[in-house]
A and B are shown apart, each in its own frame.
Chain A
């Protein structure tokens, strides 16, 4: 063994090994102390985040009911069938058995088979959705024969009245990223229009949470805790579905809008635009085709004509002209003139709707017989500025402030930026006096105007909710004598034999006061667009009828608008008559029973 080092050398090496191994073990120890002592809290928190999953529990959306408590937007229990593929022995066999129970056709089964093939086997796959109980009941009873198949209950929004309340209630859709930024859950439904949108926060409620222990694959291992969701509040609207339905029925298949308002509180009893669209289709998954059909339908079902449509007020505007004439003491307001059915001006020739003329005529008769020539002259005496000031006073040409999105203001003549000028042609002022020309108003504005005439000049905020105090937006400073005069003239529209609405309302159970209007569409379209629209219907005049009832002790005011409906008396007044008949019948029934009406059953059971 020559050449080998002595024991001292080798022992030193072994000592080096001992020290080396000790150092390595100490280094590991230091690291463990670092992780398990110094960093313990942060890492323990991370472990907790790993294992605990917070799953939101969606609250049930509050229902919307009408003034009598009838469900207008209700929740219906619906069922979902899910499959966790890895827990199903034979997927194909299970699908075949389910197909028989749930009435799937061969195509559906094929599609589901593909869906399962592409899905993660440990996660639930949605097989069928929105099933009523009677469909899933046979499956639910035999669920123990179907391992890996789950039946889950959920709710679905249902609008029992469908299109009748479409614009009023609006529709829901799944939360978008911007809604999620504002606190909505990702799979929550959010109101997109109508009352569903305006009162979304109170309807939605507050979500609850379930703390779940999950494993690394996201499987739920245990439920650690639960915070119950806070259900959405019930929203009670002031709408009376009897009135709403009566108006809908009376409109028939015509296009138009009906607004009925309580003259003392501003609460809306009906707010209707026709045609509507079935909002249930939004919930059950709207087909693009159907949406497109609505979007491109020339009758524009998606437009809420009651608040988003602005139309020339036609002869209903004569009430404004009359009030302005009385206020500014125009000579003609207390005098008379001769109507020969025609009025020649330097720049144009104007006609009265009654071509033979009304003869010698005063303001009162000019209102109830709706003489155009009288008002041309009266308007000319008042002037554009004062006439528009009067219209503004009564809330025309500006938003009413109703709690619905998308309300338009309409326009008063001269309010359009391009038309702001001091000089007006005589003819323009004259046609403005009878509600033609540039002025556009919404049916809701006209209903509020009619209510203000009935209640002595209070402009009320149109209110949808049943249980809120009325809001007076302004008090019109009007001479009570002038107001009484106009109201009497409106009564004559119905009461006098030559009144323009006499034929349709003289036998109404309540005494009605109102004013008809017939907006001439043909000339307007030709003047502005210079060509004829191919759809004949478009050329027919718009019909208006606004007013209040009962005349002696007004309760409700209304505005009826029928697009291309023809004459205001024949087209619009019967709709008001139908509304008033419904209200009067209801009042009679209440009187007889001596008690407020019991909650009538909804037309469709809300809990199917």
Chain B
């Protein structure tokens, strides 16, 4: 096999390396006063995740296409098992105990659904009612299951990712507009079926000061952390909100607060630029892909990353309600990190397979 390094997308790799360094440094700042073992474990997660990344790079793309249906079915079965044998944590039944580790089937479903959608629309357009409604059914069944766990955040992420996949697959804009109007009209119904704590979160998001010690506390403290960082930050390991534990969940969902407090606007912007480059590279790979399946997979992965980034930073900075979504490559969490690196591995595989081949589209794309 005459492997050539230049088939690898270098900007994406550099970007990933920067994110690894920034993520590791930020996590260290978040845990250095407490459980330093978390930081060491996350570094091991990185090594393991890079291994998975490499593995995904060498698996041919058609294997993923073949795996789409089985992955979706397995994820759906796991999801259906959760209400029966799931483990309750923090008031919600979301996890399955698989002996070695706790699996969150909703997390698995996000990727499996994306893969299935890519596979489904690889040979179909989303501007016909029949394939579109079948694709919607793929999404609605797991979304309903996840919503009842209850996990509002993941449900919304799933629906947004689905929407992105449908747009990529040629959903007419007009139909999208209709769907959005319909969704707005059905919002009161959704509100009615929500759990109290979910309503509380939305209410406290709308006015965090109304409950400063309860549900609003997290957002108030993270907003203070970000804002007090200013333009240049308080200095590495010097953030008072982080160091004195005013910032909640600072090594997981709220880790952006640590970064923005200690690094200021400059480092926060650096992170956003890195994310921007990463997503942009994935989209470029999508447009160069040799197959429509490869393009759609890349678009799906880019969408999921974008949703994670937007929802997480939006939540931590007080723009969105509190939804448990990790900040890619920065938040602590082994399975999330390994899954995202695996997804990037798939993207890289698409890039490798497109090398020296004509994209499934005709050449001369304005993006290249």
Contact A50 B276 (CB under 8 A): no
Closest to B261 in A: A47
Total contacting residues, chain B, CB less than 8 A: 56
Within 8 Å CB of B235, what residues of A?
Answer: none
Contact A11 B366 (CB under 8 A): yes
The smallest C-beta distance from A215 to any residue of chain B, in angstroms, reads 4
The smallest C-beta distance from A436 to any residue of chain B, in angstroms, reads 70
Contact A36 B168 (CB under 8 A): no
Tell me whether B206 is interfacial, beta carbon within 8 Å: no
The smallest C-beta distance from B268 to any residue of chain A, in angstroms, reads 5
Stretch of B63-71, B111-119, B220-228 with 4 or more beta carbons under 8 angstroms from chain A: B220-228
Interface centre among B167, B228, B292 (most CB of A within 10 A): B228
Within 8 Å CB of B225, what residues of A?
Answer: 47
Contact B317 A21 (CB under 8 A): no
Contact B227 A25 (CB under 8 A): no
The smallest C-beta distance from B24 to any residue of chain A, in angstroms, reads 22
Within 8 Å CB of B243, what residues of A?
Answer: 215
The smallest C-beta distance from A168 to any residue of chain B, in angstroms, reads 49
Given the known inter-chain contacts A29-B269, A35-B223, please indicate yes or no for A21 contacting B302, CB distance below 8 A. Answer: yes
Tell me whether A17 is interfacial, beta carbon within 8 Å: yes
Tell me whether B264 is interfacial, beta carbon within 8 Å: yes
Contact B125 A3 (CB under 8 A): yes
Tell me whether A419 is interfacial, beta carbon within 8 Å: no
Contact A43 B125 (CB under 8 A): no
Contact A36 B229 (CB under 8 A): yes
Contact A44 B228 (CB under 8 A): yes
Closest to B362 in A: A7
Secondary structure at the B interface, as helix, strand, loop or mixed, is helix
Tell me whether B245 is interfacial, beta carbon within 8 Å: yes
Within 8 Å CB of A215, what residues of B?
Answer: 243-246
Q: CA–CA, A22 to B223, complex, Å?
A: 23
The smallest C-beta distance from B122 to any residue of chain A, in angstroms, reads 9
Given the known inter-chain contacts A32-B268, A43-B223, A47-B240, please indicate yes or no for A24 contacting B310, CB distance below 8 A. Answer: yes
Within 8 Å CB of A11, what residues of B?
Answer: 287, 361, 365-367
Contact B317 A28 (CB under 8 A): yes
Closest to A42 in B: B227
Partner of A51, one of B168, B230, B246, B361: B246
Closest to B272 in A: A25
Given the known inter-chain contacts A4-B125, A7-B365, A21-B280, please indicate yes or no for A28 contacting B314, CB distance below 8 A. Answer: yes
Within 8 Å CB of A46, what residues of B?
Answer: 224, 227-228
Tell me whether A592 is interfacial, beta carbon within 8 Å: no
Given the known inter-chain contacts A11-B366, A17-B168, A32-B260, please indicate yes or no for A37 contacting B283, CB distance below 8 A. Answer: no
Tell me the chain A residues, 1-29 only, with Cβ under 8 Å from chain B: 1, 3-7, 9-11, 13-18, 20-22, 24-25, 27-29
Tell me the chain A residues, 31-86 only, with Cβ under 8 Å from chain B: 31-33, 35-37, 39-40, 42-44, 46-48, 50-51
Closest to B167 in A: A13
The smallest C-beta distance from A582 to any residue of chain B, in angstroms, reads 64
The smallest C-beta distance from A212 to any residue of chain B, in angstroms, reads 11
Tell me whether A216 is interfacial, beta carbon within 8 Å: yes
Within 8 Å CB of B306, what residues of A?
Answer: 20-21, 24
Partner of B280, one of A9, A18, A33, A216: A18
Contact A40 B227 (CB under 8 A): yes
Tell me whether A221 is interfacial, beta carbon within 8 Å: yes
Tell me whether A109 is interfacial, beta carbon within 8 Å: no
Within 8 Å CB of B332, what residues of A?
Answer: none
Tell me whether B203 is interfacial, beta carbon within 8 Å: no
Provide the A203-218 mask, 1 if CB < 8 A to any CB of B, else 0. 0000000000111110
Total contacting residues, chain A, CB less than 8 A: 45
Q: CA–CA, A39 to B226, complex, Å?
A: 10
Contact B361 A7 (CB under 8 A): yes
Tell me whether B204 is interfacial, beta carbon within 8 Å: no
Partner of B272, one of A29, A39, A40, A213: A29
Given the known inter-chain contacts A14-B367, A42-B227, A50-B246, please indicate yes or no for A36 contacting B264, CB distance below 8 A. Answer: yes
Tell me whether B57 is interfacial, beta carbon within 8 Å: no
Tell me whether B336 is interfacial, beta carbon within 8 Å: no
Q: CA–CA, A42 to B292, complex, Å?
A: 51
Given the known inter-chain contacts A21-B276, A21-B280, please indicate yes or no for A51 contacting B244, CB distance below 8 A. Answer: yes
Q: CA–CA, A24 to B276, complex, Å?
A: 10
Closest to B230 in A: A40
Contact A37 B265 (CB under 8 A): yes
Given the known inter-chain contacts A28-B310, A40-B227, please indicate yes or no for A22 contacting B292, CB distance below 8 A. Answer: no
Tell me the chain A residues, 191-238 only, with Cβ under 8 Å from chain B: 213-217, 221
Interface centre among B125, B168, B240, B303 (most CB of A within 10 A): B240
Within 8 Å CB of B245, what residues of A?
Answer: 215-217
Given the known inter-chain contacts A5-B125, A28-B310, A51-B244, please indicate yes or no for A43 contacting B167, CB distance below 8 A. Answer: no
Tell me whether B299 is interfacial, beta carbon within 8 Å: yes
Closest to A18 in B: B283
Contact B244 A36 (CB under 8 A): no
Tell me whether B275 is interfacial, beta carbon within 8 Å: yes
Partner of B295, one of A6, A10, A216: A10
Within 8 Å CB of B221, what residues of A?
Answer: 50
Contact A35 B362 (CB under 8 A): no
Within 8 Å CB of A44, what residues of B?
Answer: 227-228, 230
Contact A25 B287 (CB under 8 A): no
Within 8 Å CB of A13, what residues of B?
Answer: 167-168, 170, 299
Within 8 Å CB of A21, what residues of B?
Answer: 276, 279-280, 283, 302, 306
Tell me whether B215 is interfacial, beta carbon within 8 Å: no
Given the known inter-chain contacts A10-B361, A11-B367, please indicate yes or no for A35 contacting B317, CB distance below 8 A. Answer: yes
Closest to A14 in B: B287
Closest to A52 in B: B240
Q: CA–CA, A245 to B221, complex, Å?
A: 64
Tell me the chain B residues, 312-362 only, with Cβ under 8 Å from chain A: 313-314, 317-319, 359-362
Tell me whether B286 is interfacial, beta carbon within 8 Å: yes
Tell me whether B104 is interfacial, beta carbon within 8 Å: no
Within 8 Å CB of B38, what residues of A?
Answer: none
Partner of B226, one of A3, A35, A214: A35
Contact B246 A216 (CB under 8 A): yes
Tell me whether B186 is interfacial, beta carbon within 8 Å: no
Q: CA–CA, A339 to B18, complex, Å?
A: 121
Tell me whether B162 is interfacial, beta carbon within 8 Å: no
Contact B228 A40 (CB under 8 A): yes
Q: CA–CA, A42 to B269, complex, Å?
A: 21
Partner of A43, one of B224, B268, B360, B361: B224
Partner of A37, one of B231, B240, B310: B231
Q: CA–CA, A7 to B295, complex, Å?
A: 12
Given the known inter-chain contacts A16-B167, A21-B280, please indicate yes or no for A50 contacting B240, CB distance below 8 A. Answer: yes
Contact A36 B170 (CB under 8 A): no
Contact B313 A28 (CB under 8 A): yes
Provide the A532-567 mask, 1 if CB < 8 A to any CB of B, else 0. 000000000000000000000000000000000000
Q: Which residues of B contact A (CB under 8 A)?
A: 123-125, 164, 167-168, 170, 221, 223-231, 240-241, 243-246, 260, 264-265, 268-269, 272, 275-276, 279-280, 283, 286-287, 292, 295, 299, 302-303, 306, 309-310, 313-314, 317-319, 359-362, 365-367
Taking A11-B367, A47-B227 as given, write out 16 further A-B residue pairs in contact, using a Cβ cutoff of 8 Å, ordered by the A residue number. Answer: A10-B168, A10-B361, A13-B168, A14-B168, A14-B286, A17-B167, A20-B306, A31-B319, A32-B265, A32-B269, A36-B264, A37-B265, A44-B230, A47-B241, A50-B221, A214-B244
Closest 10 CB pairs of A and B: A43-B227, A7-B361, A47-B228, A215-B244, A35-B227, A216-B245, A44-B228, A36-B265, A51-B240, A216-B246
Ordered by A's residue number, 26 sampled pairs between the chains whose C-beta atoms are within 8 Å are A7-B359, A7-B361, A10-B287, A10-B295, A11-B361, A11-B367, A13-B167, A14-B286, A14-B295, A14-B299, A17-B164, A18-B367, A21-B276, A21-B302, A28-B272, A28-B317, A28-B319, A29-B272, A32-B260, A35-B318, A36-B227, A40-B227, A43-B224, A47-B228, A213-B244, A214-B244
Q: Which residues of A contact B (CB under 8 A)?
A: 1, 3-7, 9-11, 13-18, 20-22, 24-25, 27-29, 31-33, 35-37, 39-40, 42-44, 46-48, 50-51, 213-217, 221
